[in-house]
Amino acid sequence: MYNRIAFLKLCCPGDLLFTTPAVRAVKKRFPDARLIYIAGTYSSFVAEHNPNIDETVIFNPPFEISGRLKGARAAWNGARVISSLGLDLVISFHRSRGVATMARLGGARNVLSFETAKPPADLSIRFDPHKHEILRYLDLVGVLGAPPDGFTMQYEVNESEAAEALGILKGHGISGQFAAIAPGGGENPGAIMHIKRWPAYRFKEVAAHLRKAHQLPVVAVGSMSERKLADEISPDVNLAGETSFHILPAILQRASILIGNDSGPLYLASAVGVRTVGIYGPSSPKLVGPLSDRHRPLIREIWCHPCYHPQGTTRGNIECPSGTWACMLTLQAKDIITAVDELLAGAKTAIGS
């Protein structure tokens, strides 16, 4: 019997969201166990907003630290943190043998991970690179006899965050329904993937359609580094850089729809139940798209697609291998507009029925 179970996923926000169906399945299988999530600083807010998690423990991922000696020291500190928790089981969602070793050195009685982490993982399954990440994590916890309890991602906004989000929107003149657009993305600690970004001038066309056809003001969201990019889509309100990761989901929760690239805001919006249109170029929605009937993935499956594989991400600035950016440039505004109209028509039908 497992009384204290820890989940280990150190980065990044979208990746932690992909693990939430697996966490939910474990909670249903072991309802009396204390569930702990061990996450990195950058993405810990996702674990903190998971209603199935009892405690979140934070430390910096060793693989994000430059220098072998510093990385080894960080891994040892991670093992000490794990040791203090008195765990019966650590479920590592990483493929890394080093991460599993950290859990084992921390004194965990059992370590569950993928076969690529053996040893020291003593419970494992084969890593299938062709399977959606959510389904892959569900297969992993299936070893424990934890069947899926749905495939949707989960994120719970608290009352104070909801109130703050409402105040921010009203302060910018948004008191009713609106559409959110996330034109940025492709930036995580140690990696820059601007090849995931659809051109801003095409987002601008979509924004104009949302205002004209659906009478929805457009709110741009993103980080401070994306603020200038967000201005280029001519939003009614530019919140890029004005909201923290903690408040962004509360903002998105009030949106009628979000249109965005393969990035954190897209997955956060889906996790709080918002209709989403995702734009995919180098990445594949078959591997990372929200598994929701309220999501529409848009993609051009040209000869070199997909060139980005989550399990093989390299560090640094990742460029288009063909030098053409064709997967993004061949995707037209009319394609996104068709998906937007379909989702919003469904929303109006539901309201009127």
In the predicted model, what is the mean pLDDT of the chain?
90
Domains and CATH numbers, the chain: 4-142 (3.40.50.2000), 161-352 (3.40.50.2000)
d(CA 334, CA 344) in angstroms, rounded, equals: 15
The predicted structure's pLDDT at residue 344 = 96
Distances, alpha carbon 94 to alpha carbons 7, 10, 63, 292, 349, in Å: 10, 8, 12, 24, 42
Which element (helix H / strand E) includes 90? Answer: strand 89-92
Strands 191-192 and 187-188: antiparallel
Q: Is the per-residue pLDDT at 191 higher than 70?
A: no
Q: What pLDDT was estimated at residue 324?
A: 73
**Which H, E and C letters describe 97-145, residue by residue?**
HHHHHHHHHCCCCEEEEEHHHCCCCCEEECCCCCCCHHHHHHHHHHCCC
Q: What's the start-to-end Cα distance of the chain, in Å? A: 48
Q: Which residues contact 57 (CB under 8 A, 6 or more apart)?
A: 6, 36, 37, 38, 39, 81, 85
| Mean pLDDT on 256-283 | 95
Q: Does pLDDT of 189 surpass 70?
A: no
- Phi first, then psi: give them for residue 352, nearest 5 degrees: -85, -15
* Interval 12-63: pLDDT, tens: 899 999 999 999 999 999 999 999 999 998 899 999 999 999 999 998 766 5
Q: Round to whole Å and give the CA distance between 88 and 109.
A: 5
Q: What is the C-alpha separation between 259 and 336, in angstroms, rounded?
A: 8
The better pLDDT of the pair 315, 183 is held by 183
Rounded (5°) CA angle 228-252-159: 125
CA atoms of 269 and 334, how far apart (whole Å): 22
Inform me whether the pLDDT recorded for 267 exceeds 80: yes
- Top-confidence residue, 212 or 194: 212
For the residues 84-105, what does the mean pLDDT come to? Answer: 93
Considering only CA atoms, which of 221, 250, 100 is closest in space to residue 163?
250
Q: φ and ψ at 5, to 5 degrees?
A: -120, 135
**Residue 350 predicted with pLDDT over 50:** no
pLDDT at 329: 85
Whether pLDDT at 337 is above 70: yes
- How many Å separate Cα 254 from the centre of its chain? 19
Give residue for tokens 């990035």: 263
With residues binned 3-state (H G I as helix, E B as strand, rest as coil), the percentages for the chain, rounded to 5, are 40, 15, 40
Residue 64 near residue 190 (C-beta atoms within 8 A): yes
Give the mean pLDDT of 179-193: 79
pLDDT in tens, 107-161: 999 999 999 999 999 999 999 999 999 999 999 999 999 999 999 999 999 999 9
Q: Which structure tokens are listed for 257?
A: 């729809």
Centre a 10 Å sphere on the Cβ of residue 2 and count the other Cβ atoms it contains.
Answer: 18
